[in-house]
Structure 1
């Protein structure tokens, strides 16, 4: 749930401590080195260090993990963090239970789903780029070009609607009203 709500990388999620969780935000300032036996490491890039806003639904789910009484949010009562394989297996099982069949869908794909959801809800690319921790929007645009192309037609319609607002005559005529002003600027 944390990945789909935030777009965070697995290592960033595994490195979350309770000090990183606030009233409406999650601070991303380190990563977990789950490939080399554990321990904190730097984030993938400098721009990956950020604080992102989250909603109450996610925060309420995360707070349920406090019963484990561990410093790391996702460490279980036995002091263990799930491995990358365990996380992917759990994801595949959840997808199967929901009747979702997607070839080659893995934990990192949740980051892509997060981006797709934000784009579908008209969140600007600049904001998505910052949320993901990309140093500039070109990285985001290149990485998610296939998603951006899907929303191009909708964007073109939004542009046309916006441009139609520039000419009150054309808007009024399309609504069957006479125009008050026929001049062009």
Structure 2
């Protein structure tokens, strides 16, 4: 695609860095407003990659040569994003910073269920000061207090840049040494 080796290497490095930014933070369990949602890998990444490639062709002083191919890549990204959205409508939530929980606690039950248009996962953990330790763990993962719906303590966090989704966890103190956490994607 690039006429010069220098332009090809620079564009390639930018594309690798861009892909790393979309994949690594989620796999590492990081949170925050600059951590891309999984869906953005299909939606936002192809658009940004197309822009980077087109800038590379302009630097090589080639007029908009590969616009058709780049638009095809972007369109394919949108089609894949639509498929991913449909597939995730009733998908089980990922670990989302909740599971496996803090190292001080021992998970004794891990379960999941799906109802009408939503799925959730459940874990019960025990250990010294389990409810307090779990609340601290969730706070360290970016969860903040949210209004209660079912009477249980609820914390939520948002993930994504353009396509945001909210993950909420409901905590139920079973005893001073046991806690139940149910989490789901809104």
Q: Give your verdict on TM over 0.5.
A: no
| TM-score, scaled to structure 1 | 0.28
| TM-score, scaled to structure 2 | 0.28
- Which protein is richer in helix relative to its size? 1
